[in-house]
Structure 1
């Protein structure tokens, strides 16, 4: 018994010293690992410039927008668009930086509908607000750098007048940076395609009018003011054949789905508005879902994701009722000169159900291997009650004397003055079209 007991103690001593030795070796290995890893981190941090989010009214303008980053890193950093939510932020008044990005009278291609200063708007503060994401900065717009990357490419906006608003903005942002011959070709009598071309650079920035994406009674480029919405929910090819050769396509469709109901035209061969039509009236969300299903099938069948980048603009807010943000009854966005700062009212002017349908459709597409990135501008537009044309826009017919006495009732609180808010949309869009590897996280 004593012999066995002493042998047990001896075995335990051996195990104890072995454990100490193994612990010592493990410590050396760990120390060597952290030393090597620290050296590698020093190499990486010396090559990546981190730009904290600014909280003042000044923007760092010393660094131009760089699209191609040739630095070779042992660990590739994520792009800005992967590492930061650019759509969560606030508006900051900034009259010392580069806003506005252009002037109305210096853009010969600007649609007169949206040139608010030319049509009598006196205040201009709405042009000098910048969008500030909470945790990062997006690169300052550099027109020359964008133009270089767009050489030989076709950029196509497809949708309603909000998308045309953005198309006008993009042309005005870029046109002064494009040398050589430029021209704007308006749609022909039987076409809904508008095209801005820069011949020497082989750049085409186009807009295609398809307010509901599928065929509708609003497809006529000039005569589309029907008070009822009628669509062929399964018909899209008449429009979509004009889209297939684009390198970047930016879709939108929101404004025309804001009426409570939509009429479905079920007679396959009949004309819109013709006799003997078989129709069904459904609520707008259901019709929107049907239209997006048709659009999604077309995208899956016809778009090569390796060639064409696809984007869908989030729905923009309208400010038609001042009571939505605590204002007076019967008033609208007319006369507003400041953005909303009260976050209680940042859910106005959009239809959450319609937005959920859009998000679900894009999620289903992604699950099938087609990534359509949503540029989620909904929140940043909800605050900008001050940035609409109201009465300061080109008119299809002059206001009557009675209308002039009631400016709130005739104000356009859905579209946007240019320069203005759509320029921010395009800055965010370009950050996704040409993502950089320069991290700007705080």
Structure 2
């Protein structure tokens, strides 16, 4: 959950990563707003090869670089009749939306843009058009038939929950689910479609690995890069489909641990503690997560790694008036993925390549749900200030991270259904 561009907030820090009191206070406000949300229940071309060539940074780890052949092979995991469904543009779709904020109760207040006064509605009337084929609009009847008798887990940050809520709304044309949650915790919800014996669950785990705050008033998280978050890791084996995402929360103040010892930090003033960048910290956490899933005994499910969903703050930082007021999508030549957003995306591609290669040897299924380009082009689809009433008597900030419902995030289910059809 990234209501702010941490890379902008902290870019000019000194080598010991000191944070100003103003920044710490800002992050406290961010964290409070984040918890409230939880509890309230292009790229350079359409060619994935070209976007690597035009970005001259070397992405490496102990497994080495992605070469063109490997990237082409990775991209080919999403090819049907030589069509990459993840490369394309947004085109008008006057038939949309397929539900409204008044017909779906699953929309949380913070994504209920029309309820809170958003005047324009064109942001709901687009569909994703791959360059070389058509991507069918989500068919809820077909989806429920494919997943009949199965289960699906959404594992990650609040954009993962945003996805699940979108899916519930899309499926509402067929059936409403019943709440079968094991615990009364809005961070870990479970729903069942009784007529289809299909269960979906959400596990809110923003760092994927184990993380905690020693002091609730502190801005710092302690993140254990080599330890799983047991809240989801102990239950994931029972699911037929697992959708993993993460990255936003690795852009804030963190102290990193391995083998129960401090190995580095980000945006801290701890003496003799090394600064760790995303290429180590997020990569290590993601690798721990994917390796753990691939090592589960008797796990026969399919794991989807959903790629990074960029935020779109403009005109300032998240806590300095930053907003997202655009009312139509970008074209591919109007924006590009860069900075920490690009770093996170590239790490995901490389780590997926590694686990995909190993999973083939084990007979496991890993698939790349590559939503990054599509969402990069949708600065118009965020709640901005329409996730709350304008006269609310509390400090609130524009949300340029999550997605209005209905809205662009509904397309994630278009992608997912198409990928499930390939498996059948």
TM over 0.5: yes
What do residues 214-273 of structure 1 show as CA deviations (whole Å, max 9, x unaligned)?
011279xxx9996333211111151301211101110000211223x5311357499xxx
Alignment of 1:166-185 (within 5 A): 166-178=163-175, 182-185=177-180
SS at match of 1:178: coil
Unaligned regions of 5+ residues in structure 1, if any? Answer: 1-77, 271-277, 325-329, 405-409, 438-442
Unaligned stretches of 5+ in structure 2?
1-76, 263-271
- Identify if the C-alpha distance between structure 1 residues 82 and 210 changes in structure 2 by more than 3 Å, giving closer, same or farther: farther
1:42-83 Cα distance to aligned partner (Å, 9 max, x none) = xxxxxxxxxxxxxxxxxxxxxxxxxxxxxxxxxxxx996363
Bigger relative contact order (CA 8 A; separation at least 6): 2
SS at match of 1:335: coil
CA distance in 2, matches of 1:135, 1:262: 43
**Residue 345 of structure 2: aligned partner:** 355
Q: How many correspondences in the alignment?
A: 331
Given the superposition, is the C-alpha separation of residues 81 and 167 from structure 1 closer, same or farther in structure 2, using an over 3 Å criterion? farther
Give runs of aligned pairs for residues 409-428 of structure 1, distance below 5 A.
410-428=397-415
Write out aligned runs for 1:3-402 (5 A): 81=80, 83-95=82-94, 97=95, 99-178=96-175, 182-185=177-180, 188-189=183-184, 192-217=187-212, 227-236=219-228, 238=230, 239-259=232-252, 262-266=254-258, 268=260, 282-302=276-296, 307-322=300-315, 332-341=322-331, 343-347=333-337, 351-368=341-358, 369=360, 370-394=364-388, 398-400=392-394
- The answer to whether the Cα contact below 8 Å between 2:156 and 2:205 also exists between their aligned partners in 1 is yes
Cα RMSD (Å):
3.3
Deviation at 1:185, TM superposition (A): 4.8
Q: Are residues 175 and 350 of structure 1, via their aligned partners in 2, closer, same or farther at CA, if it must alter by over 3 Å?
A: farther
Shift of 1:187: 7.0
Larger CA Rg, structure 1 vs 2: 1
1:358 to partner: Cα distance: 1.4
Cα pair 2:181 2:188 within 8 Å, conserved: yes
In structure 2, relative to structure 1, the CA distance for the partners of 1:79 and 1:342 (3 Å cut) is closer
1:435 Cα deviation from its structure 2 partner: 2.1
